[in-house]
Amino acid sequence: MILSDRSIRELIAQGVLGIDPLEEELIQCSSVDLRLGSEFVRYGDGAVIDVRRGCGEVVYERVEDCIEIKPKEFLLATTVEYIKLPSHITAFVEGRSSLGRLGLFIENAGWVDAGFEGQITLELYNANRVPIRLYPGMRICQLVFARLDRVPERVYRGKYRGQRGVTPSRIELDADLSVNSE
Name the residue with higher pLDDT: 112 or 58: 112
Tell me, what DSSP letter sits at residue 103?
T
Catalytic residues: 123
Feature table: binding site for dCTP: 96-101, 113, 121-123, 142, 156, 159, 163
Tens digit of pLDDT for each residue in 17-75? 999 999 999 999 999 999 999 999 998 776 677 788 777 778 888 999 999 999 999 99
Feature table: binding site: 96-101, 113, 121-123, 142, 156, 159, 163
> Is residue 110's pLDDT more than 80?
no
> Is residue 13's pLDDT more than 70?
yes
Displacement of CA 113 from its chain's centroid (Å): 12
pLDDT at 108: 66
> Is residue 89's pLDDT more than 70?
yes
- In the chain, where the domains are located: 5-167
Which stretches of the chain are assigned E, i.e. beta strand? 18-20, 32-43, 58-62, 67-69, 74-84, 89-95, 104-107, 111-112, 117-126, 132-134, 139-147
Q: Which CATH number fits domain 5-167: 2.70.40.10, 3.10.129.10, 3.40.50.300, 2.40.50.100?
A: 2.70.40.10
> Is residue 181's pLDDT more than 60?
no
Tens digit of pLDDT for each residue in 132-175? 999 999 999 999 999 999 999 988 888 889 889 998 888 888 88
